[in-house]
Amino acid sequence: MERVRTRDVDAFEQLYDGYHRLVFGIALRMTSDATMAEDITQSVFLKLWSAPDAFRDGNFSAWISRVTRNRVLDLLRSRANKPAGEIPADLPAELSLDDDVFARIDAERVRLALAALSEEQRTLIELGFFAGVTHEEIARRTGIPLGTIKTRIRTGLRRMRESLVEAVSQ
């Protein structure tokens, strides 16, 4: 990323080669539309090229995953002509200790951490991230009470974090 910040085209190309499958995969999973996923991939990387300072530090895969998710939500909202802000933007990024600790975590470790959760927790967390809907909509789709969903998301994320911290410390 340091080289991309200096407008190094070759470095940007390497970055694209390394991460376009991830960006495309998230967009495809969220939209189920390969053409739209292609456009979103293009949009995310153009944004990265035009504003490389947006990524400060931490786990690049995690950061670009969130950027992609937000881009998909923006696009889906604009196409559905829904009011902006159905799901709001994140708070201004504040680098936490976990961002640094998780910098070395790869997708396989994340899969293992998710697999260690109960099926209920895992389903809700994956649905929450990839479906791009509110917890109320998740409750409607799954038939699970809203209060239960909120608690499972929290306990699931906390347990997942514990697994990841443990994996890093080994």
Partner 1 sequence: MSEQPIDREAMFDLVAAYALGVLPAAEAAPVAAFILADADAREEYNALRATANLVGTIAEEPVDSARSARMKERLMAHVRSDATAGARTRRPAPSSTVRSSAVWGTALAAAAAVVFALVSVIQNFTLSSELAEAQRKATVLQAEASAARQSAESAQRMLADVSSPDAQRFSVAYGTVIRRGSHVYLALTSLPPVARGHVYEAWTLAKGAKTVAPSVTFTPSGNGLTLVPLPEDADHLAAVALTVELEGGSKVPTTKPAFVQPLS
C-alpha of 84 from chain center:
19
Chosen residue from 1, 3, 36, 49 binding partner 1 by CB under 8 A: 49
Contact 98, 161 (CB under 8 A): yes
Q: In the chain, what is the straight-line distance between the N-terminal and C-terminal CA atoms, in Å?
A: 27
Establish if 56 lies at the interface with partner 1 (CB under 8 A). Answer: no
H or E segment to which residue 64 belongs: helix 60-80
- Distance (Å, whole) CA 27 – CA 104: 23
Chosen residue from 1, 3, 36, 39 binding partner 1 by CB under 8 A: 39
Chosen residue from 2, 32, 80, 94 binding partner 1 by CB under 8 A: 94
Establish if 121 lies at the interface with partner 1 (CB under 8 A). Answer: no
Establish if 54 lies at the interface with partner 1 (CB under 8 A). Answer: no
Contact 87, 129 (CB under 8 A): no
Establish if 118 lies at the interface with partner 1 (CB under 8 A). Answer: no
Establish if 21 lies at the interface with partner 1 (CB under 8 A). Answer: yes
Instruction: Please give the residues from 123 up to 162 whose contact with partner 1 meets the rule CB under 8 A.
Output: 125-126, 128-130, 132-136, 138, 147, 150-151, 153-154, 157-158, 160-161
How wide is the angle at C-alpha 71 spanned by C-alphas 61 and 44, nearest 5°?
55
Establish if 25 lies at the interface with partner 1 (CB under 8 A). Answer: yes
Chosen residue from 1, 3, 22, 74 binding partner 1 by CB under 8 A: 22
